[in-house]
Amino acid sequence: MRSMRLFYSNPECTSGQMVIASPDSHYKILHFHHGGLDKLAQLFEQWTAIKAKSVKDGSPSPLPDRHLLICQPAVSKSELDPEDGLYDMVSWDLWKSYKNADGTIDDSNTIRKAIFFASMEPSLRKEIWPFLLRVYPWQSTIEQRETIRNDLFLGYQNLRRKAQKKSTGSSKQNWISIENTIVKDVIRTDRRNPFYSGDDNPNVETMKNILLHYAAAYPLVNYIQGMSDLLAPLLSTIRNETDTYWCFAGLMQHTVFSSSPRGNENLMEMNLACWARYRTSYFHLFVCVSIISIYGNDVIVQQLPHDEILLYFSSLAMHMDARLVLKKIDGLNNYLLAFIKNDLYREVL
């Protein structure tokens, strides 16, 4: 055995993963979902202390050298955004208080800031997501949004006809290949969600249709494996094919595409913070920097080789503390803005 690494995934430091690396770079990841990892860590730390004393006394252990790392991610108060914790989750009452009589929303910046810092009640997603994904302008009236919705419905019907033509035209074989790829993906997407479970589920067929129509509308993008994972939470929340399509199109046009882990409520909070576009449209870059900042210290200290760096971050997938990552992102955002302001101030002087 070459190394052992323990990664805590909860604030109590009881659950997480243990990664064991063999001398020939084979890895085994053991997941502790219901506690016990802290007890194991105590045993390993005792063993490490005994081994260190043995070496110090001139009696090296006959066992091969091992490296034990225990990772306990944290963000100090000095790293947090000064506004962190000042905002409450967006509720129906708060949402209504920002809407004028005609349905317009003047102070969208404050709403987006609250979503960025504190998310929103799940029951609000269906109403607010179309604003975050730029289907509706924030300052549009109720009547204007109804007109937009009708126009988008007609536009979606045109896409439906366009997709049907592709299935019978000269590019029929290529289109069949695209359709087969989409079908293979959608039948495996979010199957634990009752909205998509069971055989011959019409919601799965709706998901397929949306992805086909998107491929017809954007042939250069076409379909990329993993898009169904991004679409699934939209459809299960909005529950209307046309409205979901335009939200999905807005998501794809204004965010960097990446395949999303399934069934993770914390991931939804990450998406909402990204969609809010508060302070930056490059939220995805802050996500990367935040993860590296919180979890990457050992990569530098231990000078890990490329294969271990890949393992290091791959083993954290779907087990990182999303709230901690978001808090770090807020702090990084604030730090960068302060740096830019100070730099501009010096230029003026």
The DSSP string of 120-174 is B-GGGHHHHHHHHTTSS-TT--HHHHHHHHHHHHHHHHHHHHHHHHHTTSTTHHH
Q: Domain spanning 86-276: which CATH class is it, in words?
A: mainly alpha
Question: pLDDT value at position 6?
Answer: 80
The Cβ of residue 22 has, within 10 Å, a number of other Cβ atoms equal to 11
Question: pLDDT value at position 61?
Answer: 42
111/215 Cα distance (integer angstroms): 33
pTM value is 0.68
What is the pLDDT confidence band of residue 1, given thresholds at 50, 70 and 90? low
Question: pLDDT value at position 256?
Answer: 52
10/319 Cα distance (integer angstroms): 9
What is the pLDDT confidence band of residue 295, given thresholds at 50, 70 and 90? confident
Name residues whose C-beta falls within 8 Å of residue 97's C-beta, 6 or more positions apart in sequence.
none
Name residues whose C-beta falls within 8 Å of residue 59's C-beta, 6 or more positions apart in sequence.
none
Name residues whose C-beta falls within 8 Å of residue 127's C-beta, 6 or more positions apart in sequence.
95
| Sign of the torsion angle spanned by Cα atoms 191, 325, 323, 27 | positive
What is the pLDDT confidence band of residue 343, given thresholds at 50, 70 and 90? low
Q: Where are the domains of the chain?
A: 3-70, 86-276, 282-345
Question: pLDDT value at position 258?
Answer: 47
Beta-bridged to residue 30, according to DSSP, are 18
231/251 Cα distance (integer angstroms): 9
